[in-house]
Amino acid sequence: MNSSRKHRERWQYLDHALQEGLRRLGHRVGKWNLPDHSESDGCFIALSLRDDSKKVLANCRIEGVYRSGRFRDLIGNQILRFRALRERDSGDVQLLLAIFQERYSSRAMADLSEYSDQFLDGALNWMIVSPDGRAVIRLFGKDLEYELEQKLVSRAEAKAEPSRYSLFSERNQWLFKCLLLPGIHPSYWGGPPDKARSVVDLAEKTGIPQPSVSVFLQQAEAAGYVKRDGRSFRVIRHQELLEEWSFAAKFNPPESMYVRPIFGQSFEEWSREHPAHQNDPCYVAGSHLACHVMGLGRSNNPEKLLYVQNPFAEEMDRLDLVPDSSESPWGKLIRPKYPELILRGAVWRENIWIVDILQAYLDVRLSPARGMEQAEAIYMSKLRKHFEGD
């Protein structure tokens, strides 16, 4: 296949993927034609969505294999160009970056999320599609991951990086915590207090079989987050790790259910009637509630997030809770697939079990109400000092 035909097919594929993503999110879009030559990569295309109530300027790109510096420069450049165009347009318009990526990379999506929060107040819309049919789109605060029936290559031919979910499975998250948190003050971490010095040591401290630990370390090292030194190892690039971890958690959340007390009590009233016990973590509080118990709370967010071990029907019966489908639910139950992720690092404070500080960081980072501000406060005041000391 000659290069011009290959380039044209990629543009058509990007066009199809973008229209499919918009359709799945419920937007009606008039037809448009993407350019089929590289000189048009920098063009902005005006799109009107949902009876002209939403408007975006789409910038469509064909990119090769992900390279951090190049890709971040691309995002920054397009945001600057968009700002210049927006200043000349008095209408309410947002930027949509639609990108064909030769090899599927979660790091690219983490970069887009970071630049969106830093430079466009979280209002950057984007879509990435790879030739093996995988696509993900974020539009007006909604996220959708989908797969196209039409593919340019098979999944095997794409040689894509392993799914971002595999590195951050719940069991691997527990392993990461046991690499990152030992040595921090015990009021923030209830797991193994000492750092593992070998694969065998890490397996013993975490309770995970040695072969699985070895596979995890190989995968983390290949991703650039673990550096080995003989038999020992250490975590590097902490901020990038937390970025990708948060992104994976957002797109692959554990089972959850919104609930409220049968008798309509406040959390304080309900918790007095269902007291926690130091020898039995029947539930573990996370998110903003855990931050306040730690003395790190930065907002009055009333969010109540409770991690539980058993099926929701059993937990609700035991805790006198019922499903809550209102617009402002009382709280949320979360049931991890790998309970050790929460239970073994939990901390007993002020007569309640709370999650470890890293889990609290991840919880609030995904919270829409001042979550990023709270997460940044945790990182700057506690986690960064701990990581740098390590």
Residues 383, 338, single domain; the answer is: yes
Residues 71, 177, single domain; the answer is: no
- Span 58-78, mean pLDDT? 84
DSSP per residue, 78-127: HHHHHHHHHHT--S--EEEEEEEESS--HHHHHHHHHHHHHHSTT--EEE
Least confident range of 164-173, 325-334, 337-346:
164-173
Residue 350, φ and ψ in degrees, nearest 5: 50, 45
263: domain CATH number is 3.30.460
Structure tokens given for 90: 């008095």
Structure tokens given for 39: 């000189």
- Span 50-67, mean pLDDT? 76
With a cut of 70, say whether residue 30 has pLDDT above it.
Answer: no
Task: State residue 175's pLDDT score.
Answer: 97
Domain end marker among 202, 220, 250: 250
> What SS3 string covers 22-80?
HHHCCCCECCCCCCCCHHHCCCEEEEEECCCCEEEEEEEEEECCCCHHHHHHHHHHHHH
Residues 225, 267, single domain; the answer is: no
124: domain CATH number is 3.40.1350
Percent of the chain at pLDDT exceeding 70 = 88
Structure tokens given for 361: 């960081």
Residues 206, 321, single domain; the answer is: no
Residues 142, 50, single domain; the answer is: yes
8 Å CB contact between 373 and 299: yes
With a cut of 60, say whether residue 1 has pLDDT above it.
Answer: no
With a cut of 90, say whether residue 345 has pLDDT above it.
Answer: yes
Residues 189, 285, single domain; the answer is: no
Select the highest-mean-pLDDT range: 4-8, 11-15, 252-256, 343-347. Answer: 343-347
Q: Which amino acid, 236? A: I
Residues 242, 259, single domain; the answer is: no
Task: State residue 370's pLDDT score.
Answer: 75
Task: State residue 100's pLDDT score.
Answer: 92
- Cα distance between residue 29 and residue 22, in whole Å: 8
- Span 226-241, mean pLDDT? 87
Task: State residue 38's pLDDT score.
Answer: 39
**Best CA proximity match to 345, nearest among 202, 232, 190, 230:** 190
Domain end marker among 191, 218, 250: 250
Task: State residue 53's pLDDT score.
Answer: 65
Q: Which residue's entry shows tokens 């340019």?
A: 152
Greatest alpha-carbon pair distance for the chain in Å reads 72
Domain end marker among 161, 179, 211: 161
Range(s) of the domain holding residue 40: 3-161
Residues 200, 320, single domain; the answer is: no
| Residue 390 burial class via C-beta count within 10 angstroms: exposed 0-12, middle 13-18, buried 19 and up | middle
Give the number of domains in the chain: 3
209: domain CATH number is 1.10.10.10
With a cut of 90, say whether residue 343 has pLDDT above it.
Answer: yes
Q: At what angle do helices 357-365 and 238-251 cross, to 10 degrees?
A: 60
Three-state DSSP class for residue 300: coil
Residues 196, 140, single domain; the answer is: no
Residues 203, 308, single domain; the answer is: no
Confidence of residue 39 (pLDDT cuts 50, 70, 90): very low
| Residue 2 burial class via C-beta count within 10 angstroms: exposed 0-12, middle 13-18, buried 19 and up | exposed
Cα-atom radius of gyration of the chain, to the nearest Å? 23
With a cut of 70, say whether residue 52 has pLDDT above it.
Answer: no
Residues 366, 300, single domain; the answer is: yes
Q: What is the pLDDT of residues 76-123, one digit of tens each?
A: 988 988 888 777 765 678 889 999 988 777 778 888 888 888 888 888
> What Å distances lie between residue 142 and 117, 126, 246, 337, CA to CA?
15, 11, 16, 25
DSSP per residue, 215-284: HHHHHHHHTTSEEEETTEEEE--HHHHHHHHHHHHHHSPPEEEEEEETT---HHHHHHHS--BTTB-S-E
Least confident range of 13-17, 155-159, 260-264, 301-305:
155-159
Task: State residue 172's pLDDT score.
Answer: 96
- Cα distance between residue 304 and residue 355, in whole Å: 13
- Span 210-214, mean pLDDT? 92
Residue 189 vs residue 109, higher pLDDT:
189
Q: What is the pLDDT of residues 122-172, one digit of tens each?
A: 889 999 998 888 888 998 888 888 888 888 876 555 544 445 568 899 999
With a cut of 90, say whether residue 294 has pLDDT above it.
Answer: yes
Residues 343, 242, single domain; the answer is: no
